[in-house]
Structure 1
Amino acid sequence: MNEKRTNTDRAPADDSAEGPSRRRFLKLSAAAMATPLLLRPRHGQAALWVTTPQPVFPPSPRTRPWLEELPRAIVPVRPADVLVPAAEAEPKYDDEEAGRESHQRFDELVSVLGAPTLYELRAKAVPWRFHPDLPTQTAWTYVSAGDEATLPSTILARYGKPVVCRFHNELPKDHVGFGSPEISTHLHNLHMSSGCDGYPGDYYREDKAGPTLKETGPNGGKGRFKDHFYPNVYAGYDDWRAKHGGGIGDPNEALGTLWFHDHTEDFTAPNVYRGLAGFYLLFDPIDSGDESDPSTTALRLPSGRYDYPLAFGDKRFDPQGYLFWDEFHVEGVLGDKVTVNGKIEPVLRVDARKYRLRLLNSGPSRFYEFYLVDARDRPQRFTYIANDGNLLPAPLLDQRSVRLAVAERADIVVDFSRYPIGTELYLVNRLRQESTRKPKDVRAPGTRVLKFIVDAYPAQQDLSQVPARLRPLPELPSAEELAKLKVRRWEFDRKSGLWTVNGRLFDVHNPRAKIKKGSAEIWELVGESGGWSHPIHLHLEEGRILSKSEDDVEIPIPPHERGRKDVFELDQTMTIRVLVRFRDFTGKYVMHCHNVIHEDHAMMVRWDVEGDDADDA
């Protein structure tokens, strides 16, 4: 059985932006294959639920561990050019560009910040080998011109230095297999305008435009590429400039570890599963990316080749070793192999010094609880410095484990100078999970997913540090001010087999909330069923957890969740109250479960930010 024969869930070529042909095709395929499917046409038609027993997938072929090495250092994407003219006007439509809104505030922001740097990334099908024991097969990834294809790519950026990222869609239009060859790229969780946020209905390719692009652009929304403007300003830009007369916002609102991935409506899970994801690392004068920085404001965290992003994804392979996916089951496929930067059980050779490891759970469904252990499975200690891309106010010292829901990030610092040359260490997942519904419990010894070998002394002195104070948190409103804020309740549930938010499915065209720009609200995220865990992701802004409760009993907020976050692990019958602000930009955004199987099957809600004079609803 080869890849083409096992993956027959191809989107037909006559799928139009307006019509529901993709869902119609999935309907017929699901009935033919007798697998469960949420039969949700794209645009407002009635939903139908077909129930059959959950399929049992065969295990992946066995693979021998530690046969392949990751590169010793990450090579970032090279910028393409500086846009010209610099500050006079935003880039105009190219004849081949997909539809998009005008870039909000482009002229204003580049007049303050300077010309944006251009990056060009191409979503392409590339040959890839996940492991030497598995065959070479096709993966999808973002590739820059002249660079070798990697899973994932990494962009380095700085606050105050804007970027235009041009995403070309060069995926094969005649693609056969799971996934769908359109893209809508979301940079999770940059503060930016909605037209550049990767809205699920903004997908495109040369001969197709998503339903929320079809009226824009010179070609009716269709196009080969789309420009995304990333201003790289702190959230609260307007408030800060009004108060201080300048600047780019409150540096306490900074993010560091971000990632970008495809967000195409109905096909986010399989497209990301194929490899459409990358890192976007942001620096500023505090987290400067230079451990020898002489500035008194710089933290001097491990930098350069010692700042290493690691993306973890669960995968499953068919008996012949080809990547497997069941696009028709609303609970998806739980992978039984864990890839690390696209490789199964790789080795990373490290110097005997401190490293900053940026851990990302890229999904689609597995949760992790990682331990760093020695060859005898004894846990080692490390320092936890950032969650969801946000530096904590102070490092969490002597940590033994780090838990990651889907899309969560954690930055940790490991001091490999504590170990003799030749020492072997392992990153181990001890969180058991048997279905996509939720994890079970922590059980030793766990599954080893990455091997470290301390094999050299650094060529230069380790100047990095982890200071006792990292980045302060923005001040919270007073209790009296919080009591005056609007409260919205969002219930995440499954009813009659459907993933819902407040009992309804995602509607790409219609917002479920209209929110005034510059306002703040308290959002209550509520798990209504005891059988699932939902990592809830909020676009545009970070939130602050005010309280957590289970069955109406308040529970402590874990130390790593007391900072700013964009993913909130809603476990079973939990309620999480989150303070959210809506600043600087307007337009359409989404909140959704980042178990992307649930997202693709409608556990998502659109909300719009409107002008200062709008009435919220």
Structure 2
Amino acid sequence: MANKSKTSPTFGHSSNSIVQIAILVGFLCSLPVIQGQDVHSQCGNLTASPPLTPFVVPLTLPPVIDISTGVPITLGTYKISQSVHPDLPNTTFYAYGTSQETATYPGPTLEAKQNVVSFVRFENHITDPEHIFVVDRTLHHANPPNGGVPIITHLHGGDAESKYDGHPDAWYTAAGDTGPKFVTRDNVYPNEQPASLLWYHDHTVGMTRLNVAAGLAGLYIIRSESEDPPFLPSGEFEIPLVIQDRQFFPNGSINFPDIGLPPFAHPQWCPDYTGDVILVNGKAWPYLDVQQRVYRLRILNGANSRFFTLFFSDSRLQFLQIGTDGGYLWTPILLSNITIAPAYRVDVLVDFRAVPIGSSFFLNNSHADTILTNTTTPTTNYVMKFNVVRSSGRKSAQQNVVVPSSFGPVPNISGWASTATLYRNVSLVATLPPVFNLSFLLNNAHWTDAPTETPQLYTIEIWDITHLIPNGVHPIHIHLVNFLVMHTQAFNYTRLNASECSLQLPYPDAGSCFTQAPQPPNPSEIGWKDTIIVNHGTVVRLLVPFFPRSGQLYSFDPTTFPGYVWHCHILDHEDNDMMRPLAIQPPPHA
């Protein structure tokens, strides 16, 4: 599809199919669904966004703030009005910025340097007495006595002391109320980890899905003079892409559910919020003019629950993945498509030199709308448009791009595994009505239960994460550390649930529930990760070192108050108890 018509289609569709509700209801033991009213938004059956003409808004880049100078900066959260598309009135967001006037959705990109400490103060200037979305008070949530909108910012993927990690119970409001584990608004980020793309977002207990959907997210880049190859695309040829989804009312406001599923258990909570409009850097289906050059795309899936499988409409274009959550891969991987779960980051090169000037093509998405359906909304099949244009200069200088065949040594996973001090079995489970309210849990434990994941500092653990929920996919995120995927192994969920087999017996034993031998990680999940997809009916084995990637000691004490967490990064699940403390213990013989 090298040459597309310049005429843009109009995206408009009916409400999400009631079939999706039927599927979800079947999953929830055939619970009844209350039909939504015009003044409400029903989980799984939101009124469609107004028809919008795609590819008419140019891609914008978030402002950049250099935080490598040693000078502290202050980012506030503010209520702002911002346009996502000319066919819609402005949308109200909560946003980060150095002032009310400079606040943007997404927030500014913070650029740090490896081994140079950054100081960032996050202030709360959102003075709304109530959130712009309805708060479901049947969930365990931040409940400030004087009202208002609580926030706490987490640097996702960052190695930092836990009081700077954005603990969910460390929230605070503009009125001065604080959560039980609040310590400070002033954050110290050592930036001692490898060069990588991180992101910051709100992490308030029971309200993360609301605050992120309202706009509280931004990118954080660690650069390294010693690690960054000198001949990768940079400047105008390095493009950050924050991909999210939203649904909108005709007045421009965000359509977020206020009728839950099942409503008698959780009146407002929805298991998976997905929208029918794809936003990139805060714009609906934008376009970007590119030259016949190699571009570096730094991509974040910042959605609440939507997965994306990205591919180009032109088969000549592929992704050369050079990095993942934790930084550079040891070997670049050429991919025709790439699946990114919520919180995944990918660092890819795209070579436009073979595409003729005047051509247009699309970055598309083929992933189903929700984890419980196999359907897609037509409007979500497109992400953005690229137009190949002539260089604006009289003579375009030859671009000198050199991609190393290796970015470093391959980790000795088997060697490290042989020194592991603990095998830890953790599980993903769900409680279902009518016996319980619907919740997704880790190890059948609630957020408020005592910690059970208590690794010793400077040791290696092997985690087996077993998906024991009847359906769905869950991206699991572990704070503080990066890990490596050792393998994934499928099992027969039906037989296991009927106690007809065991996961303690290896494949191909007749009594084993496993249906295959252990499989290596998918190509896009090779490398150092902090978030990993766990599919239904699988066990994912992780090598988890509780020490820095350098192999040295942390410059701070990870055992101090208030501690870290691990959780599902479908934010709707995280807010409904799919999160647990991660209490790092002193090292052996400390």
Fold agreement, TM-score > 0.5? yes
Change (3 A) 1:74 1:306: farther
**1:499 corresponds to which residue?**
440
Q: What TM-score comes out, normalization by structure 1 length?
A: 0.74
How many residues are matched? 488
C-alpha distance in structure 2 between counterparts of 1:356 and 1:286, whole Å: 19
Task: Provide the C-alpha distance between the structure 2 equivalents of 1:202 and 1:265, rounded to a whole number of angstroms.
Answer: 9
Match of 1:184 in 2: 152
> Displacement of 1:577 after TM fit?
0.9
1:160–1:233 contact (8 Å) kept in structure 2: yes
Alignment of 1:204-603 (within 5 A): 204-213=172-181, 226-234=185-193, 254-288=194-228, 298-326=229-257, 328-374=268-314, 378=315, 380-397=317-334, 399-433=335-369, 435=370, 437-438=371-372, 440=374, 447-457=381-391, 459-476=396-413, 478=415, 481-482=418-419, 485-496=421-432, 497-507=438-448, 510-551=450-491, 552=514, 553=516, 554-583=518-547, 584=554, 585-587=558-560, 588-603=563-578
Q: Shift in Å at residue 55 of structure 1?
A: 5.3
- Amino acid corresponding to residue 602 of structure 1 in structure 2: D
Counterpart contact for 1:338–1:449, Cα < 8 Å: yes
> Relative to 1, partners in 2 of residues 1:166 and 1:570: Cα closer, same or farther, differing over 3 Å?
same
CA contact (8 A) 1:430 1:445 kept: no
Matches of residues 120-159 of structure 1 in structure 2 within 5 Å? 120-145=74-99, 147=102, 149-159=104-114
Residues 580 and 441 of structure 1, relative CA distance in 2, 3 Å threshold:
farther
User: Residues 449 and 532 from structure 1, CA distance in 2 versus in 1: closer, same or farther, beyond 3 angstroms?
Assistant: same
Q: Which residue of 1 aligns with 2:4?
A: none
Determine the C-alpha separation between the residues in 2 that align with 1:464 and 1:170. 44
Counterpart of 2:445, as a letter, is R
**CA distance in 1 between partners of 2:373 and 2:407 (Å):** 32
The CA deviation at 1:266 is: 0.5
Question: Deviation at 1:559?
Answer: 2.0
After superposition, give the CA deviation of every residue in 1:217-242 in whole Å (9 maximum; x if it has no partner).
Answer: 7xxxxxxxx111000113xxxxxxxx
Deviations 1:267-302 (A, max 9, x none): 1011011110000111113443xxxxxxxxx35211
Q: TM-score, normalised by structure 2?
A: 0.77
Aligned mates of 1:524, 1:579 — CA distance in 2: 9
> Aligned pair in 2 of structure 1 residues 441, 391: CA closer, same or farther (>3 Å)?
farther
Deviation per CA, 1:433-455, whole angstroms, max 9, x where unpaired? Answer: 2x3x3463899997222011122
Q: Is this contact kept in 2: 1:516–1:614, CA < 8 A?
A: no
- Give the 3 Å change call, closer, same or farther, for CA 386–511 of structure 1 in structure 2: same
Whole-Å separation in 2 of the counterparts to 1:446 and 1:342 = 15
In the TM superposition, what whole-angstrom CA distance separates every residue of 1:466-486 from its partner, at most 9, and x where no partner exists? 22112334433527724x521
In the alignment, structure 1 residue 174 sits paired with structure 2 residue 163: no
Distance 2:316 2:49 in 1: 28
Runs of at least 5 residues in structure 2 that lack an aligned partner in the other structure:
1-23, 25-30, 35-42, 136-147, 259-267, 433-437, 492-513, 548-553
How far, CA to CA, are the matches of 1:561 and 1:513 in structure 2?
24
Shift of 1:575: 0.7
8 Å CA contact retained: 2:486, 2:520: no
3-state SS in 2 of match to 1:200: coil
- Specify whether residues 443 and 414 from structure 1 end up closer, same or farther in structure 2 by C-alpha distance, changes over 3 A only: farther
Task: Output the CA distance in 2 between the equivalents of 1:460 and 1:166.
Answer: 41
SS of alignment partner, residue 574 of structure 2: helix
Describe the shift of the 1:349–1:150 C-alpha distance in structure 2 as closer, same or farther (beyond 3 A): farther
Q: Share of identical aligned residues, percent?
A: 28
Which of 61, 78, 83 is the matching residue for 2:50? 61
Alignment-mate amino acid for residue 90 of structure 2: T
Letter in 1 for 2:413: L
Task: For 2:416 and 2:455, locate their aligned partners in 1 and report how far apart those are by CA, in whole Å.
Answer: 22
- Shift in Å at residue 307 of structure 1? 1.2
Instruction: Give the structure 2 partner of residue 98 of structure 1.
Output: none
SS in structure 1 at match of 2:257: coil
The match for 1:160 is 115
Structure 2 Cα separation of the partners of residues 570 and 487 of structure 1? 18
In 1, Cα distance between equivalents of 2:530 and 2:219: 16
Tell me how far apart the structure 2 counterparts of residues 173 and 321 of structure 1 sit (CA, whole Å): 19
CA distance in 1, matches of 2:290, 2:105: 20
Evaluate the alpha carbon distance shift between residue 330 and residue 506 of structure 1 in structure 2; reply closer, same or farther with a 3 A threshold: farther
Q: For residues 382 and 532 of structure 1, do their structure 2 counterparts lie closer, same or farther at Cα, with a shift above 3 Å needed?
A: closer
- Report if the CA contact (8 A) 2:80-2:103 is conserved: no
Aligned-pair distance for 1:614?
7.7
Structure 1 residue 319, shift from structure 2 partner: 4.6
- Structure 1 pair 570/537, CA: closer, same or farther in 2 (3 Å)? same
* Distance apart, 1:334 and its partner CA: 1.7
Alpha-carbon distance in 2 for matches of 1:155, 1:355: 21
Classify 1:78/1:299 alpha carbon distance in 2 versus 1 (closer, same or farther; 3 Å): closer
Distance 1:444 1:370, change over 3 A: farther
**Structure 1 residue runs without a partner (length 5+):** 1-35, 37-49, 83-115, 218-225, 235-253, 289-297
Q: How far off is 1:350 after superposition?
A: 1.8
Deviations 1:545-572 (A, max 9, x none): 1121110232332122221111110111
Residues 454-499 of structure 1, C-alpha deviation per residue, up to 9 Å, x if partnerless? 22326543123222112334433527724x5211111111122221
Tell me by how many angstroms 1:579 deviates: 1.1
Superposition CA RMSD, Å: 2.7
**SS of residue paired to 1:201:** coil
Aligned to 2:16: none
Q: CA deviation at 1:420?
A: 2.4
* Greater strand proportion: 1
Match of 2:584 in 1: 609
- Per the alignment, in what secondary structure is the counterpart of residue 381 of structure 2? strand
- Structure 1 stretch 352-361 or stretch 139-148: which is displaced more? 139-148
2:353 counterpart SS class: helix
Distance 1:608 1:265, change over 3 A: same
**Aligned 8 A contact 1:361 1:409 in 2:** yes
The aligned counterpart of 2:37 is none
Number of the residue aligned with 1:222: none
Query: 1:570-593: per-residue Cα shift (whole Å, max 9, x none)?
Result: 111111111112232224111100
2: CA distance, partners of 1:170 / 1:356: 35
Q: Distance in 2 between matches of 1:555 and 1:308?
A: 34
Task: Describe the shift of the 1:582–1:602 C-alpha distance in structure 2 as closer, same or farther (beyond 3 A).
Answer: same
Cα separation, 1, equivalents of 2:253 and 2:379: 28
Correspondence 1:76 to 2:54: no
Partner of 2:261: none
Q: 1:479 to 1:55 in 2, by over 3 A?
A: closer
Q: Is the 8 A contact 1:550 1:574 kept in 2?
A: yes
The residue type equivalent to 1:449 in the other structure is V
